[in-house]
Structure 1
Amino acid sequence: MNRILVPTDFSPEAENALKVAAQLAKEYDSEIYLLHLLELPLDLIDPMSKGSELPEAMFFMQMAHKKFQNVIESDYLEGITIHERIQNNEAFEGIVDTAKKDNIDLIVMGSQGASGFKEMVIGSNTEKVVRTSDVPVLVIKKDHNNFKIKDLVFACEFTDEYKASFEEATRFAKSINAKMHLLMVNTPNGFRTTAEAEDKMNSFLNGNKPDNYTLNIYNDRTIEKGILNFASAIDADIIAMSTHGRKGLSHFFNGSISEDLVNHAKRPVVTFKI
């Protein structure tokens, strides 16, 4: 975990994410890439455009830089190498592009979550990054003065398509010395007996077992509720999930449990691309 990207709009939620990133950076000797996206209209910054207003664009850039300086001077960032990034781009696209360009190992984002009509129609930038990012995304919902992960819940369907993301999650858990609680949620629509579920999980793990883990089968009405309720029952520190990266109508009609959890879970959620 050498490079951590933290997108910021200088909100309290973004600061919560930055504080967690700072703790991780100090623990693992990482550098932080702090990114702010202005999302200015192209005709405002294009010198060839008739409507170009470069002085106004420069004003916004200077204001962002000043806010950066105030943030970087925070006590909790002392001793950490910080790289300042200011770009003009749509938020989620700029975050994903920056992660690729700077060879980022982990994205840490703050989120308020969303629900109901707002969630269905608009979605959040965090949700969009979770859906499209090729690197793991850690979503933080609240202030964590002491961010320690001892118990990590990893839930999936334990089929071959999840093996790559499971291996990433296993490496992540090992790097932070966390115990993995592997979870299969049993629902009425996809019910399996305990023996069937255990056989499926053990077959999936054949030759690829984490160093420190438990196997768990949990019955609930939906997969999302099962994950949330199981995590609450064991007082887990974080929920880890795989995400399919669906886009457009496919995402609208099929949805994504990972993205729903990002919106609804009170605990931190870390996602890994399938």
Structure 2
Amino acid sequence: MKKILFPTDFSKAANNAFVFALEFAKILKGEIVLLHTFELPIVDNQYFPENYQVIYDSLELSQFERFKDEIPKLRAIADELGLQGIKLSHKLMDGSLVYNMKDCVKSENIDFVVMGTAGATGWTEVFVGTNTGEVINTIGVPVLCVPEDAAYTKIETIGFTTRFREKDKEALNKVLKIAHKTNALVKCLYVKTSQSDVSEDTIAMWEKDYEHENIQFFVVPSDNVKQSIEEFVDHQEIDILAMMTYKHNFFVDLFTTSLAEKLSYISEVPILSLHE
């Protein structure tokens, strides 16, 4: 059974992403490990040693009480979707969100992470902070990132950006496994810039290798990669866009500029980030 890590701060954006986590668990016949983290303040106990432990105990208790109150709300969401059968387990952890995510991926043998791209605290370090490249590249499992305005729909078309490298095939095969479970069509996009060195023979070889799969290949000549991908998502009616982590700078841009301006087609499309 696949295990999905769902980090949450119980915000509206996180609760929206929880719908995707539930549906993803249904597709994969998996279970969800719900993670909520909090960071205790640094207190210099030399000034008030008698109250030091009291402060920490009080903060931990308040976080636990909030955690306890919010869990039934998530279970209610599952009930409304008819997905109350999805197994849920819970983890409340002190410390950095990024550190605890990595720890959970390892200790819980996580296969996927599903999370929202907006939240009240600490979430920007995952997507727009200096740790972005580290997190996306070192977390070790695919991460489904759900924009706050995304609405879940049946996965019928999955986009996949590629540079036709041999190692891209491993990521594409992971995408195809998901597509097989939903009978989805996979549309592969290669943006051929003026600096591109991919030969026609390589593209033809890929097409032959996947000729028995429900897959289409698109080669778009353009030096504006971001715009080309956005137009591809819109025109090809992409439900989820899968991207390799070598595009993490573009990935960051999608979740800052696009979401902030509320103008881009891609602001409502979840992105599945696949590590190399």
Q: Alpha-carbon deviations, 1:92-126, whole Å to 9, x = none?
A: 2211221221112221111149xxxx99x953988
List, as ranges, runs of 4+ consecutive aligned residues in structure 1 with deviation greater than 6 Å. Answer: 124-128
Quick one: which amino acid aligns to residue 232 of structure 1?
D
Match of 2:186 in 1: 180
Work out whether residues 184 and 197 of structure 1, in 8 Å CA contact, stay in contact via their aligned partners in 2: no
Q: Alpha-carbon deviations, 1:41-83, whole Å to 9, x = none?
A: 3669xxxx87333421223222222222333233335222110
Work out the CA distance in 2 between the residues paired with 1:179 and 1:6: 26
Q: How far 1:31 moved relative to its partner? A: 1.2
Structure 1 unmatched runs, 5+:
246-254
Quick one: which amino acid aligns to residue 71 of structure 1?
L
For 1:108-147, what aligned pairs fall within 5 Å after superposition?
Answer: 108-112=114-118, 123=129, 129-142=135-148, 146-147=152-153
**Length-normalised TM-score, structure 2:** 0.78
Give the stretch that moved more between structures: 104-113 or 256-265: 256-265
Work out the CA distance in 2 between the residues paired with 1:11 and 1:126: 21
Match of 2:227 in 1: 225
Work out the CA distance in 1 between the residues paired with 2:226 and 2:151: 28
Task: Verify: 1:55 aligned to 2:57, yes or no.
Answer: yes
Match of 2:18 in 1: 18
Secondary structure of 1:201 counterpart = helix
Secondary structure of 1:160 counterpart = coil
Quick one: which amino acid aligns to residue 68 of structure 1?
I
Structure 2 unmatched runs, 5+:
259-265
Secondary structure of 2:101 counterpart = helix
Secondary structure of 1:108 counterpart = strand
Q: Alpha-carbon deviations, 1:149-185, whole Å to 9, x = none?
A: 1111111211134233233223233233221111110
Work out the CA distance in 2 between the residues paired with 1:262 and 1:171: 26
Task: Verify: 1:149 aligned to 2:155, yes or no.
Answer: yes
Work out the number of aligned pairs and report it.
Answer: 253
Secondary structure of 1:154 counterpart = strand
Secondary structure of 2:233 counterpart = helix
Match of 2:250 in 1: 257
Match of 1:5 in 2: 5
Match of 2:168 in 1: 162
Task: Verify: 1:199 aligned to 2:201, yes or no.
Answer: yes
Work out the CA distance in 1 between the residues paired with 2:242 and 2:86: 27
Quickly say closer, same or farther: Cα 1:262–1:209, change in 2 above 3 A. farther
Q: How far 1:128 moved relative to its partner? A: 6.2
Give the stretch that moved more between structures: 162-171 or 213-222: 162-171
RMSD of aligned Cα (Å): 3.2
Quickly say closer, same or farther: Cα 1:270–1:199, change in 2 above 3 A. same
Work out whether residues 262 and 269 of structure 1, in 8 Å CA contact, stay in contact via their aligned partners in 2: no
Work out whether residues 165 and 242 of structure 1, in 8 Å CA contact, stay in contact via their aligned partners in 2: yes
Work out whether residues 6 and 113 of structure 2, in 8 Å CA contact, stay in contact via their aligned partners in 1: yes
Task: Verify: 1:87 aligned to 2:93, yes or no.
Answer: yes
Quickly say closer, same or farther: Cα 1:29–1:126, change in 2 above 3 A. farther
